[in-house]
């Protein structure tokens, strides 16, 4: 297959000392080869560039990336998804959801949220799905629901954003409260008045972390 040599090249670059450091940074949730992300991208780029020209999305390759026992493989998978994201449709949401909920952590959630944001611009039904995700037991689905509009700027659906954030108020979960502050901070660059009003309206319910993050540019 087109990706076999790519995986061989990655695995030949293994650095055990760096791998231990990278794994520790991720709370030892995942094993690493010890390859910095820029180098992973450099190795994968020619393979992905060629494969992305194919008409069909290679979900077998994506799934294989998630089956590999080193985190760099999942990073390669997200790079491939970026390269073919224009081919994605709302029918692919369940497949993306499976990726997010398998080997879950903030790095993959934050890599895929903008892919979903672009999908939502083309397929309004994705917004309905994000409302469902916003009350999920899986915190990474909730984090994506909060953050998927963060790159949409003036195209942000503020009514939906408010609903989704309100669905997540009152939690002590760091990654959720950080996400709330992050999305509000990004939107404050476009519409600071809306964010100020939001913070005032929900001040008693928002975590201090969320308020601190959201207020950075206000």
55 and 130 in a single domain? The answer is no
Mean pLDDT in the chain? 96
Mark which of 28, 60, 87 sits at the end of a domain: 87
CB 9 within 8 A of CB 1: no
pLDDT exceeding 90 applies to what percent of the chain? 98
87-108 pLDDT, tens digit per residue, is: 999 999 999 999 999 998 999 9
Checking if the pLDDT of 65 tops 90, the result is yes
- How many CA atoms does the CB half-sphere of 19 hold within 13 Å? 15
Q: What are phi and psi of 27, to 5 degrees?
A: 60, 25
8-32 pLDDT, tens digit per residue, is: 999 999 999 999 999 999 999 999 9
DSSP string, 113-149: HHHHHHHHHH-THHHHHHHHHTT-SSHHHHHHHHHTT
- 218 located within any domain: yes
12 and 74 in a single domain? The answer is yes
Checking if the pLDDT of 217 tops 90, the result is yes
Question: Which candidate, 34, 39, 35, places its Cα nearest to that of 19?
Answer: 34
- 105 located within any domain: no
CA quadruple 114, 115, 119, 120: dihedral, nearest 10? -30
CB 111 within 8 A of CB 79: no
pLDDT at 60: 96
| Both structure tokens of 85 | 């994201």
Mark which of 35, 60, 87 sits at the end of a domain: 87
212 and 131 in a single domain? The answer is yes
146-194 pLDDT, tens digit per residue, is: 999 999 999 999 999 999 999 999 999 999 999 999 999 999 999 999 9
- 182 located within any domain: yes
Range of the domain at 31: 1-87
Distance between CA 102 and CA 24 in Å, rounded?
A: 20
- 101 located within any domain: no
Q: How many domains does the chain have?
A: 2
CATH number at residue 132: 1.25.40.290
pLDDT at 1: 83
CATH number at residue 9: 1.25.10.90
| Both structure tokens of 190 | 């476009």
pLDDT exceeding 70 applies to what percent of the chain? 100
218 and 155 in a single domain? The answer is yes
Question: Which candidate, 189, 195, 191, 192, places its Cα nearest to that of 165?
Answer: 195
- 186 located within any domain: yes
- 159 located within any domain: yes
């Amino acid at each position: 297959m087109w990706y076999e040599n790519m995986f061989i090249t990655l695995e030949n670059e293994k650095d055990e000392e760096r791998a231990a450091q990278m794994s520790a940074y991720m709370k030892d949730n995942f094993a690493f080869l010890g390859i910095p992300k820029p180098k992973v991208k450099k190795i994968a780029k020619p393979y992905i560039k060629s494969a992305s020209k194919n008409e069909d999305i290679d979900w077998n390759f994506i799934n294989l990336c998630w089956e590999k026992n080193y985190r760099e493989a999942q990073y390669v998978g997200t790079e491939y998804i970026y390269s073919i994201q224009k081919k994605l449709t709302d029918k692919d949401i369940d497949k993306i959801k499976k990726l997010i909920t398998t080997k879950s952590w903030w790095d993959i959630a934050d890599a895929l949220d903008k892919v979903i944001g672009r999908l939502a611009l083309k397929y309004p039904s994705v917004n309905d799905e994000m409302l469902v995700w916003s009350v999920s037991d899986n915190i990474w689905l909730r984090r994506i629901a909060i953050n998927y509009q963060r790159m949409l700027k003036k195209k942000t659906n503020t009514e939906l954003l408010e609903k989704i954030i309100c669905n997540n108020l009152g939690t002590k979960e760091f990654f959720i409260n950080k996400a709330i502050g992050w999305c509000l901070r990004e939107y404050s660059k476009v519409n600071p008045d809306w964010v100020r009003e939001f913070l005032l309206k929900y001040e008693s319910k928002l975590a201090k972390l969320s308020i601190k993050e959201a207020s950075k540019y206000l």
